[in-house]
Chains A and B, each alone.
Chain A
Amino acid sequence: DVKVTQSSRYLVKRTGEKVFLECVQDMDHENMFWYRQDPGLGLRLIYFSYDVKMKEKGDIPEGYSVSREKKERFSLILESASTNQTSMYLCANQGVNQPQHFGDGTRLSIL
C-alpha cells in the first residue's frame, strides 16, 4: 500500500510564527502536492513538486513556500502564520498517470 505520512494530525500555532508541515512518502513517486481544504471550498492546490528541488505554484501559493530536498520528503512552510491560514492541510503523492494518494491531514489552528 502507498503510504503518505504527515508529521502532525493537529497543530496549534500563534500568529506570526513560522510553521513547518512535513510530509513523507514511502514510494518512489516524483510528484507530491500540498492542498488546503476548507468547508464549501473543496481542495485547493497550494504547491506541487515534480522532482527533487523542483517546485511549482498551485492556485493559492500566497503566504506559503515549500521545500523538496529529498524525493521522499515535501515540506510546506507558512512564513508568518495568519489566522486565515487555519485549515486542514493535505499532502498527496502521485505516480505518473496514477491517482493521488493522501496523507491523514494536519488540522492547523492559528490563534
Chain B
Amino acid sequence: QKEVEQNSGPLSVPEGAIASLNCTYSDRGSQSFFWYRQYSGKSPELIMFIYSNGDKEDGRFTAQLNKASQYVSLLIRDSQPSDSATYLCAAFTGGGNKLTFGTGTQLKVEL
C-alpha cells in the first residue's frame, strides 16, 4: 500500500463548478498535510497546508482533514480553466521529517 494515494484522474469539471480532489494516507502518525499544484512542464507550487481536523479555507480553496478516516481533500470553488493542472497531496510520514507525495490528480476545467 502506498503511503499517500490519489486517483490519477483526469477529473473533469465544468467552469464555475466545485472540484473535489481526494487523498488518503496510511501512516496514522502523520500530522501535517500539503497540497501542491503543478502546471504541465512546471514545478510543483504549494497552495495549501492543513494540520488540524476540519476545514481550512483560503480564497476559492478549502482543505479538509479527517484524521480518523485518514483522508484529506481539496475543494476548489468556482473552478476556472486556469485551475487545470495536476494536484499533488503530500504528508509527513515515518514519524520524521520525510515528506511523501502522492502521484497526483489531473484536473481539467472545461469551458
The answer to whether residues A41 and B103 also contact, given A97-B92, A104-B42, A105-B43 and a CB cut-off of 8 A, is yes
B-chain residues with CB within 8 Å of residue A99 when the two chains form the complex: 34, 46, 49, 90, 99
How far is A99 from B46 in the complex, measured between Cα atoms in Å? Answer: 8
Q: How far is the CA of A27 from the CA of B44 in the complex (A)?
A: 18
Interface bin, chain B? 10 to 19
Nearest B residue to A101, CB-CB: B46
CB distance from A62 to the nearest CB of B (A): 20
Interface residues contributed by chain A, number (CB under 8 Å) = 18
Are B88 and A31 within 8 A (Cβ)?
no
Contacts of B46 in A (CB 8 A): 99-101
Residues A105 and B42 in contact in the complex (CB < 8 Å), given A97-B92, A99-B34, A99-B49: yes
For B44, the closest partner residue in chain A by CB is A102
Give chain B residues whose Cβ lies under 8 Å from the Cβ of A50: 97
Q: How far is the CA of A90 from the CA of B88 in the complex (A)?
A: 14
A25 within 8 A of partner (CB): no
Measured CA separation A97–B96 after assembly (Å): 9
Residue contacts A-B, CB under 8 angstroms, 20 given = A40-B8, A40-B103, A42-B101, A42-B103, A42-B104, A43-B44, A50-B97, A90-B43, A97-B92, A97-B97, A99-B34, A99-B49, A99-B90, A100-B46, A100-B99, A101-B46, A102-B43, A103-B43, A105-B43, A107-B41
